[in-house]
Amino acid sequence: MCSIVAGCLQAPPDMDGDGITNSEDPDIDGDGWNNLMEEECGTNPMDSLNVSEDLDGDGICNPLDNDIDGDGWLNILEIECNKDLKNNESIPDDLDGDGICDYIDTDADGDGWLNDYEKECKVGYLENTSFPEDSDGDGICDNIDMDADGDGLYNNWEIERGLDHLDSKDHLVCHGETYFCQRTYDNFTFAATHNSFATLGDGIRAGVNHNSGLEEQWNNGIRVFLLDVYHKSYEETEPDDIRFCHGITSFFHPCQFGEVDAYEWLSNLTSLLNNSSGDVVTIFLENYISGEHLEILFNETGILERTYTKDLNEGWPDIGDMILEGRDIVIFYQYQYENNFTWMNHAWTHSWDTPWDIRDIDDLTCELGRGDEAQLVWSMNNWIYSEYGLADQENSRTVNDYDFLLDRAINCWEKIGKRPTIIAVDYWQEGNLTNVTKTLNYMVDWNTNYEYF
């Protein structure tokens, strides 16, 4: 007992009796939890019965512990992975060990293929030894890849034609590109020469339309040839007398000022075609001899057996089909015969063209010149005659200019709703005819972005 004189001194509070006053004690209630920690954990630091939960016993209360059950997976991941974050036996599956559970891992087996792709590709997305087949290595498995071998030809197109759609070496090339084979004849733009034979290289001296002959035209991508076919003279009218020539005056026979042997010229064309791969040729005739004589001419030059005949009730075939079937030459003729020569097509029944007798640049239009405007094949005549009605090299230099010719073709494409099938010019070496046709053929529509060639 304290004395009356001395009075009683009250000892400082020490709730847990550990000899440390409450004011100095980091664990006032002696429950093993730091006062500050208890406040952060939401428990009473002065109530030893109010203890923070610590499921994994790591000294971090559950509300503050980012891995409550101590199984090595963060709480937020366990929730995302649809697992119990308070059960250390409920552990997310992680097949590839990348720290992302299979439940949310877009590539659960870590084989480099997304789960959804593997499901589409019908292979196990939880088996890292099960890979989708990808013949062309483009990241799209063969099962869903429209061009499995990456050769530019659709699988179905190849299968229907007996080609191996899983072998990029088993393919067809048409006019320099595989995918052009799937274009229909009317959905391709061919470069053409007007009066193709009337060249200095062929020995023509009057009424010249071009400087170079057939071989150079061919080597530079010309595949449509406009030819005027006559007999050699008014007296020489046998099949052996068939010539290509072009009248420059009505006072003389058209072959008076130069002629080209049609048999030799066409035989050379056939040879060039035989030595190429995947080309379709078009011959546009201004015909002044009988159909029977034309048949003899084309038969003897190896052309007749490979001509394509168009049925007006059917669409134009794919270019690739024409090549595979050996029908890679289309012949149009202007003036009809009484008899029906089924191996060639009447030009103005199966196609149409823009006006051809142009003397001024402002008269170049997209309007109908001759033929049936309802037909899908159409020719854009792109030349301007001199004041004497002859091919003019200076005019050709202007209208064959890349920008001018491309702009005109695109403008007509927009107005007509159909790409020009044939673009015919004089003096083809002036300007950039074949580069224009290349550009147009890489365009899907008239307003497609295009590359310059």
Average pLDDT over residues 307-314: 95
State the pLDDT at residue 344. 96
Global pTM value: 0.79
Q: Residue 98: which pLDDT band, with cuts at 50, 70 and 90?
A: confident
Domain boundaries, the chain: 179-441
Residue 169: Cβ-neighbour burial (10 angstroms; 0-12, 13-18, 19+): exposed
- Reported as a single tens digit per residue, the pLDDT across 334-379 is 999 988 899 999 999 999 999 999 999 999 999 999 999 999 999 9
Percent of the chain whose predicted confidence (pLDDT) is above 70:
97
State the pLDDT at residue 328. 97
State the pLDDT at residue 382. 98
CATH topology of domain 179-441: TIM Barrel (3.20.20)
154 vs 100, more confident: 154
In this model, does residue 45 exceed pLDDT 90? no
State the pLDDT at residue 8. 58
State the pLDDT at residue 393. 96
State the pLDDT at residue 441. 97
Q: Which of 142-156, 242-256, 290-304 has the lowest mean pLDDT?
A: 242-256
Q: Residue 2: which pLDDT band, with cuts at 50, 70 and 90?
A: low
- Reported as a single tens digit per residue, the pLDDT across 405-414 is 999 999 999 9
Q: Which of 109-118, 205-214, 222-231 has the lowest mean pLDDT?
A: 109-118
Q: Residue 221: which pLDDT band, with cuts at 50, 70 and 90?
A: very high
- Reported as a single tens digit per residue, the pLDDT across 233-254 is 999 999 999 999 987 667 789 9
pLDDT, averaged across the chain: 90
Q: Residue 200: which pLDDT band, with cuts at 50, 70 and 90?
A: very high
3 state SS for the chain: CCCCCCCCCCCCCCCCCCCCCCCCCCCCCCCCCCHHHHHHHCCCCCCCCCCCCCCCCCCCCCCCCCCCCCCCCCHHHHHHCCCCCCCCCCCCCCCCCCCCCCCCCCCCCCCCCCHHHHHHCCCCCCCCCCCCCCCCCCCCCCCCCCCCCCCCCCHHHHHHCCCCCCCCCCCCCECCECHHHHCEHHHCCEEEECCCCCEHHHCCCCCCCECCCHHHHHHCCCCEEEEEEEECCCCCCCHHHEEECCCCCCCCCHHHHCCEEHHHHHHHHHHHHHCCCCCCEEEEEEECCCHHHHHHHHHHCCCHHHECCCCCCCCCCEHHHHHHCCCCEEEEECCCCCCCCCCCEEHHHHEEECCCCCCCHHHCCCCCCEECCCCCEEEEEECCECCCCCECHHHHHHHCCHHHHHHHHHHHHHHHCCCCCEEEECCCCCCCHHHHHHHHHCCCCCCCCCCCC
Average pLDDT over residues 324-335: 97
State the pLDDT at residue 452. 63
